[in-house]
Amino acid sequence: MSGPAERPWQLSGVELAIFDKDGTLIEFQRMWSDWVANLATALTAAHGAPLDEVVYATMGVDRRTGRVLPHGALAATPMARLREALVEALAGAGIPGREAARLVAGAWHSPDPVTLARPVTDLAVLFASLGSHGVRIAVATSDDREPTERTLAHLGVRHLVEAVACADDGRPVKPDPAAVLWICEVLGVPPERSAVIGDAQADMAMGRAAGVARLIGVLTGAGDRATLVAAGADMVLDSVADLVPAG
């Protein structure tokens, strides 16, 4: 095994890399902007009057471009809470609460993690390369466990990921540090020997609260460079592909 001096410079001194999923390991905009558009269409059809404005505003998506906003709810909010927020928003728009809940229940669906998940790079190569340099792999996501497990398996990297923390596991969710602290405890690696890699403010806040050694932002998801730096990122990369060691 290679020694610490030979590790990729971004992860020098790091034994554990904890990755976000959507927007970090897989393409974010393609999956989630289409999902919001479909959800708005279904709700409008069921209600009989336009609900696009409410849906896009609640999810934090630019209606004109379809881009998920860095500070929006969709950037790092569990699905269960997104659903609750949409019911609340419809009620706030004048639809009676019971009817709002009925409409959302009829239109709600999760993106198919197999047909829509597109990796930002060859994740098997990335994870194997980091592993050969002594960096272990974990995932902390705001998505639920069932689609997360299916996605990692579909991408052929589940066996390379030593621990996975999901939104419906019963722990506090991002930006709370609980997921990172749990992963570190399970794998026996202290936070100060770990790094968090993600595309959103919540990822940086989670890692900072956990006391990790490195916060690495990536530009393949919801966050832009300014947002990630303001959230405390030690460095911002174009993609996790930039973590592959040279040579």
Domain boundaries, the chain: 4-27+117-243, 29-107
| β-strand pairing of 214-218 with 235-237 | parallel
Query: For 184-211, what is the mean pLDDT?
Result: 97
Query: For 40-64, what is the mean pLDDT?
Result: 93
Query: What residues have CB less than 8 Å from 139, skipping those under 6 apart?
Result: 18, 19, 20, 21, 25, 148, 152, 161, 163, 164, 165
- Give residue 68's pLDDT: 81
Contact 202, 174 (CB under 8 A): yes
Average pLDDT taken over every residue of the chain: 91
Largest CA distance in the chain: 63
Which pLDDT band holds residue 225 (cuts at 50, 70, 90)?
A: very high
Structure tokens at 244: 């592959």
Is 4-27+117-243 assigned to CATH 3.40.50.1000? yes
Per-residue pLDDT tens over the stretch 92-130: 999 999 999 999 999 998 877 777 789 999 999 999 999
| β-strand pairing of 136-140 with 16-19 | parallel
Quote the CA–CA distance of 120 and 137 in Å, as a whole number. 16
Contact 183, 165 (CB under 8 A): yes
Query: For 205-210, what is the mean pLDDT?
Result: 98
Query: For 63-78, what is the mean pLDDT?
Result: 80
| β-strand pairing of 214-218 with 16-19 | unpaired
Structure tokens at 43: 């709700």
- Give residue 28's pLDDT: 80
Q: Is the pLDDT of residue 9 over 90?
A: no
| β-strand pairing of 194-198 with 163-165 | unpaired
Global pTM reads 0.82
Q: How many CA atoms within 13 Å lie on the side-chain side of 152?
A: 26
Which pLDDT band holds residue 245 (cuts at 50, 70, 90)?
A: confident
